[in-house]
């Protein structure tokens, strides 16, 4: 399978992943392998299909980081001590073609490095995952990357069972969790080291301690007709449509596209962080300008929605109205604010939770970088606003009524070279790695941009 990222979290000073990577590389395909751990900072790979990424210790942190930097449309989470059965990549490709929006898992079997009673654990894992629909992470979850992000990623605050909690979020969101009908093997050493009775009993107690409240949440979620919050990121596809035309006039088309690609990644990372902190109550969408690029690899992290035809007002109206049918709150942002703090998105959500009106983040040049609402807005209002104007925000305030609007702090977006220079006044502190990449690019290209 070519469009697959395989993510392997590893502990400090752990080496078992090396055998797994060797086994994976024996299979054909243009898949990528991402090994994530605390000892991998600055580690380079001799194989172009293998990448190393630093992350602080914690399986949820590590797997989330791997998924964030993945470049493929589908992801497969594997534990370092997993071992493969026959033709696993072919099985993954087959199942994802059948149901690309589902989450799949392998049947668990144990290696011969544990007690003889492990046959009971094999049967128990089959019963738990097939009948109760509660597979665990050592069963090798695989899914579309956008499906994973729509669920809010793994819970990094969970003391245990972040994989189990992800499955329950899938149930609550009506996402199918299905068997791949193939085996995956894992080590049984901990059962030998800590005792079969104690280890098995502990796993059962912790599982159902976590499952019962999640099951109750699932029952309550069945009554909900709409999910919480949508964030739509308005984008054009580089190479298909002109991007950042005003900036390109200042610094050239090539540099403007370089900046825009980095800004897309920074915006994606900011929104992902907001999704994580909101515990999956935010769902993100790429609002794509071109209908033919909705499945472009650049947009494989979130669901996509077509902006529709017409001027900007028409397209804002289209996206807002479509998402409002599925979500209680809808936010609209662009991808030209790479320094945006994810906390701003959370504050906007909080303001709209406690209000029936709108939320507006204004730019210093008279426009706006964020709009959020939970009420119906007539298309005529959207189309009557003069966009790319010093009066854009003020006219929108007049049309919606000042008293109905909650304001965020002002910010600036990147339209001209002087806006790029403003980024240099922002320190690296509290920025995400993808945002720091934007600043590093700017520092590297500063001399050529001044020419």
Residue 64: its H or E element = helix 59-69
pLDDT at residue 279 in the model: 76
4-221: which CATH topology? Spore Coat Polysaccharide Biosynthesis Protein SpsA; Chain A (3.90.550)
22 CB-near residues (< 8 Å, 6+ apart): none
376/278 Cα distance (integer angstroms): 24
Among residues 360, 364, 371, 363, the alpha carbon closest in space to that of 403 is found at 360
How is the chain split into domains, by residue range? Answer: 4-221, 227-450
Residue 76: its H or E element = strand 74-77
pLDDT at residue 226 in the model: 60
pLDDT at residue 269 in the model: 95
pLDDT at residue 136 in the model: 95
Residue 370: its H or E element = strand 368-373
pLDDT in tens, 288-305: 999 999 999 999 999 999
338/271 Cα distance (integer angstroms): 11
pLDDT in tens, 170-184: 998 889 999 999 999
Q: Is the pLDDT of residue 319 over 60?
A: yes
Q: Is the pLDDT of residue 203 over 60?
A: yes
Percent of the chain predicted with pLDDT > 90: 70
421/143 Cα distance (integer angstroms): 40
Q: Is the pLDDT of residue 157 over 70?
A: yes
Q: CA-based Rg of the chain, rounded to a whole angstrom? A: 24
Among residues 81, 76, 84, the alpha carbon closest in space to that of 104 is found at 76
CB-side neighbour CA atoms (13 Å) of 270: 28
Residue 351: its H or E element = helix 342-353
Angle at 64 between CA 233 and CA 427, to 5 degrees: 65
Q: Are 89 and 184 in contact (CB under 8 A)?
A: no
Computed over every residue of the chain, the mean pLDDT equals 91
299/261 Cα distance (integer angstroms): 12
pLDDT at residue 355 in the model: 73
pLDDT at residue 140 in the model: 95
Where is pLDDT greater, at 219 or 108?
108
Structure tokens at 139: 């069963």
300 CB-near residues (< 8 Å, 6+ apart): 72, 73, 144, 145, 146
Structure tokens at 361: 């983040």
pLDDT in tens, 122-142: 999 999 999 999 999 999 999
pLDDT in tens, 27-70: 888 899 999 999 888 888 889 999 999 999 999 999 999 999 99
* DSSP label at residue 403: G
167-205 per-residue burial string, b: 16 or more CB within 10 A, e: under 16: bbbbbbbebebbbbebbbbbbbeebeeeebeebbeebee
Q: Is the pLDDT of residue 451 over 60?
A: no
Are both 4-221 and 227-450 of the same fold? yes
2/89 Cα distance (integer angstroms): 9
Confidence of residue 429 (pLDDT cuts 50, 70, 90): confident
* DSSP label at residue 377: -
pLDDT in tens, 245-254: 999 898 899 9
Is the CATH code 3.90.550.10 the one for domain 227-450? yes
pTM above 0.85, yes or no: yes
Q: What's the mean pLDDT in 418-446?
A: 89
């Amino acid at each position: 399978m070519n469009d697959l990222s395989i993510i392997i979290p590893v502990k400090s000073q752990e080496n078992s992943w090396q055998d797994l990577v060797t086994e994976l590389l024996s299979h054909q395909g243009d898949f990528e392998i991402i090994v994530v751990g605390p000892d991998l900072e600055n580690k380079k790979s001799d194989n172009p299909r293998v990448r190393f990424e630093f992350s602080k210790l914690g399986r949820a942190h590590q797997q989330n980081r791997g998924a964030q930097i993945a470049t493929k449309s589908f992801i497969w989470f594997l534990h370092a001590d997993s071992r493969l059965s026959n033709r696993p990549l072919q099985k993954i490709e087959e199942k994802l073609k059948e149901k690309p929006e589902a989450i799949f898992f392998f049947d668990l079997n144990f290696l011969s490095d544990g007690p003889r009673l492990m046959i009971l654990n094999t049967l128990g894992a089959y019963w738990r995952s097939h009948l109760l629909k509660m597979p665990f992470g050592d069963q090798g979850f695989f899914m579309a990357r956008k499906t994973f992000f729509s669920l809010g990623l793994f819970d990094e605050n969970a003391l245990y069972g972040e994989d189990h909690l992800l499955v329950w979020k899938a149930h609550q969101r009506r996402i199918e969790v299905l068997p791949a009908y193939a085996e995956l093997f894992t080590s049984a050493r901990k059962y030998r080291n800590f005792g079969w009775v104690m280890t098995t009993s502990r796993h059962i107690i912790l599982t159902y301690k976590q499952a019962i409240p999640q099951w109750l949440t699932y029952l309550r979620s069945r009554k909900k007709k709409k999910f919480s919050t949508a964030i739509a990121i308005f984008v054009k596809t580089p190479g298909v449509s002109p991007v950042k035309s005003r900036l390109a006039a200042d610094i050239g088309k090539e540099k403007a596209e370089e900046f825009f690609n980095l800004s897309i990644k920074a915006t994606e990372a900011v929104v992902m962080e907001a999704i994580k902190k909101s515990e999956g109550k935010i769902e993100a969408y790429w609002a794509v300008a071109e209908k033919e690029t909705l499945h472009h690899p650049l947009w494989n992290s979130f669901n996509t929605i077509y902006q529709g035809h017409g001027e900007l007002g028409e397209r804002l109206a289209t996206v807002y109205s479509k998402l409002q049918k599925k979500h209680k709150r809808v936010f609209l942002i662009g991808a030209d604010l790479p320094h945006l703090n994810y906390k701003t998105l959370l504050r906007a959500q909080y303001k709209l939770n406690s209000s029936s009106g709108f939320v507006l983040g204004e730019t210093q040049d008279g426009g706006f970088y964020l709009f959020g609402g939970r009420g119906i807005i007539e298309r005529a209002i959207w189309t009557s606003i003069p966009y790319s104007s010093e009066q854009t925000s003020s006219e929108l305030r007049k049309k919606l009524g000042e008293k109905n609007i909650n304001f965020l702090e002002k910010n600036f977006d990147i339209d001209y070279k002087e806006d790029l220079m403003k980024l240099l006044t922002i320190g690296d502190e509290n920025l995400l790695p993808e945002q720091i990449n934007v600043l590093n690019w700017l520092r590297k290209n500063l001399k050529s941009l001044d020419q």
